[in-house]
Structure 1
Amino acid sequence: MSELQISLLGIGVAVVLIIYIYNWLQQRQHRRKFGAAFKHRHEDILYRPAEIMPTDELLVEKMEQVVPIDILPKESQPGYTIDAVCVLLDEKTDYIAMISPKSPVGTDALKLLWQQRFDFGKNVHVCGLSAANGEWEKVIADSPLAYTSFKLALQLVNRSGAVSEVKLMDFRELARMIAAQLHTSVVLPDVAKTAAHAVALDEFCASVDQMIGLNILPSDKHILTGNDVARVAEQYDLCLQADGAFHLLDTHGHTLFSLCNEDNTPFQHHTLDQLQVDGLTLLLDVPRVEQPSLGFDQMVILARQLASELHATIVDANHVALSEDSITLIRERIAAVEAEMRASDITAGSAQARRLFS
């Protein structure tokens, strides 16, 4: 590189530095002059949150009563539809907190609930009254919609038992905190009464929670493999599912009954040819099946077909051949459970029953 080129390069670098220093000085002067004006945050008018008023504890009403039904939209109103999940929410099966903000709000208003929804040991559902169409619908955390009212619901019972009074109190306090943040009222059921009702509901559910099994035992001379079971299962439209059992589905896509290994060893596609099966069990989950008496009749027919195909016998839990009288007694027991559930307004196989017996 010649001396001329070196000189020109040096001049260029010097000019760039001079310009950089000049711009820096100008920015510094502008910050000193106008900086105070930007110390206070200004809201974006297009994304302004709901107006926050000074906290007033009187706005959070500690009303120990169930939400009056007549203040809610009715399904019978012309053109009124409601999300399927929201239909199921009821004070008989859920602890429901009703929050009605003064103006429509988004799902960010329920941030505390999204953070704690898995802390209560039971399912939590949120339904919102849409500001756009005036209909109740299931609310999810990332929904972009605005709502004029919320129902926060904690399920009272499932197969693990009843919700505890402590968890109910925690849920109630969470609802109150959310209402306080929104500076609005909240309507809450009485915790002690709800806890007592949950225990009673759990006792009822336990009394009708019947799982009926028909065992299929191959003869001593017949060795049964996983491939044999898969072949006949497919023949009768049973599909292998993730739980390791073959399921027959009803018209709604729900399990009518399932076929599993008697010793609970799961069936898996990649091990069917290696699996030796000593016995099979057809299972009917009575509370979760529509018209379980008829479902049992279908299961008996299938059990006989499978027994014929697999050179096996239908037996009871003690591996004693199942007689026609025994099958009749089982069916009568199922019919009694079905009637008892219907009398208690929990129809076997309904969406509500599947919630409670999950």
Structure 2
Amino acid sequence: MFVENTVAEQADEPNSGVQTNLPLNNILTDSTHFETDWTSIEPIDVDETIEFPSINNSDNQSIEMLGWIPGNGSTVARTQILALVRDFGENFELPVSLYGQLENSDSWINLKDEVVSARFLDLMFTIQLTHHGKSIDAEHWWRFYNMGEQIAHALSRPFYPSHSLDSAQVVSLRLAEQVDNLNIQATLILQSKTNKQLSSRTLDYLAREYDLVQRGSEGVFDKMDKMPLSFAPVFTLKTNLPPRPDGTESDEEAGLALTCNLPCVRDPLEAFDQMVDLARKLESRFPLELVDEERLRVSPKEIQMIRLHLRSFSDDMQYCGITPGSETAMRLFYQPTVEETDPEASEPAGFAAVR
């Protein structure tokens, strides 16, 4: 009851005194805080031996820093939590999520899910340690820590981060290196021998014949997995050819390109074989030739060499603790296309999804 009253008062009075005596409060409320030398702040001792609860047995926790706010038997409503997020939540360049453990249950749900009447015991903030080339740094760590501390303080609860600043940076840099090494995209180019593009009618017919799903823009088709681990396509067929290695493009070139984001598919070798199979079928039916990025013909021997490399690719990912095609792989490697991105979205990564 005390927790509910504290949160309700905080929602009505966003400038109440709950912010006082908290780490970095003056820095974070200053509009010039981005100019702060975050590395000069005295580090905080973090007990990394604490056993954190698992959020629905998710593998994602291996790529995240966690911030745990245990309820110790008390509960709080979703609406009250979101009021605190509005007061203290920050936007980050790295993906941040907020989970709650449902009352009378071991289940956790993401607070962005619309369960308005739900009440929660423990809360868990997560921030992804690396995302599309950006890794956690001193500024991210301190802002994440300060946000969790303020929300926990308003709830009269403790706050436990899973990583110290040093360990978070070490883990994130190692993860970023693994992502960089595994971020491989396979592309097969079918160049037109006549420099003429296949008609839209022909492409629509091929899409139906080979079970391809047209994406929003014209000339883009996805081959979907019948037993998917994620929403990523097995491969994508496009009517525009990728540029040559020197970056040059030619309006006179025509043909098709098949691409596969290998870490994001359930079976990278099988996905590549499906691409090759379709490329060979199209090559036999139309004036198309399978070429490499230099527009030189690809031999069967080169295809076989790629297959040999891909035989160990899944094992390499598993060795790094990442299952191909899993949600974790999607979060690390998948980049939405223009069609999948909301051009009107103005809020950066952070708590936009749970507000």
Shift of 1:257: 0.3
* Counterpart residue identity of residue 106, structure 1: A
Please tell me whether residue 87 in structure 1 is matched to residue 58 in structure 2: yes
Q: Give the TM-score of the pair, scaled to structure 1.
A: 0.72
Please tell me whether residue 195 in structure 1 is matched to residue 195 in structure 2: no
Q: 1:281 aligns with which of 252, 257, 261?
A: 257
Matched position secondary structure for 1:281 = strand
Shift of 1:161: 2.9
- Which residue pairs with 2:106 in the alignment? 134
Q: 2:46 aligns with which of 64, 69, 73?
A: 64
Q: Structure 2 CA distance, aligned partners of 1:112 and 1:243?
A: 40
Q: Structure 2 CA distance, aligned partners of 1:291 and 1:342?
A: 12
Equivalences for 1:229-248 in 2 at 5 Å? 229-242=203-216, 245-248=220-223
Matched-pair contact (CA < 8 Å) for 1:159–1:356: yes
Aligned length: 290
Residue range with higher mean Cα deviation, 145-154 or 217-226: 217-226
Structure 1 residues 223, 111: CA separation in 2 closer, same or farther (over 3 Å shift)?
closer
Structure 1: unaligned runs, 5 residues or longer: 1-46, 74-81, 266-274
Structure 1 residues 57, 72: CA separation in 2 closer, same or farther (over 3 Å shift)?
farther
Matched-pair contact (CA < 8 Å) for 2:67–2:160: yes
Q: 1:262 aligns with which of 214, 225, 240?
A: 240
Structure 2: unaligned runs, 5 residues or longer: 8-16, 24-43, 244-250, 335-355
Identity of matched residues, %: 21
Matched-pair contact (CA < 8 Å) for 1:56–1:183: no
- Which residue pairs with 1:228 in the alignment? 202
Matched position secondary structure for 2:289 = strand
Query: Which structure ranks higher in relative contact order (CA pairs < 8 Å, sequence separation ≥ 6)?
Result: 2
Computed over aligned residues only, the root mean square deviation of the Cα atoms, in angstroms, reads 3.2
Structure 1 residues 221, 126: CA separation in 2 closer, same or farther (over 3 Å shift)?
closer
Please tell me whether residue 163 in structure 1 is matched to residue 153 in structure 2: no
Larger radius of gyration: 1
Structure 1 residues 55, 228: CA separation in 2 closer, same or farther (over 3 Å shift)?
closer
Q: Please state which structure has a larger fraction of its residues in helix.
A: 1
Q: Structure 2 CA distance, aligned partners of 1:130 and 1:150?
A: 9
Q: Structure 2 CA distance, aligned partners of 1:94 and 1:284?
A: 26
Please tell me whether residue 99 in structure 1 is matched to residue 69 in structure 2: yes
**What's the CA shift string for 1:168-207, capped at 9, x where partnerless?**
2211110011011111101112122102211110111001
**What's the CA shift string for 1:84-113, capped at 9, x where partnerless?**
xx72441x3011000023510012234343
Q: Structure 2 CA distance, aligned partners of 1:48 and 1:305?
A: 69
Matched position secondary structure for 1:348 = coil
Structure 1 residues 247, 314: CA separation in 2 closer, same or farther (over 3 Å shift)?
same
Matched-pair contact (CA < 8 Å) for 2:211–2:223: yes
Q: 2:189 aligns with which of 215, 221, 235?
A: 215
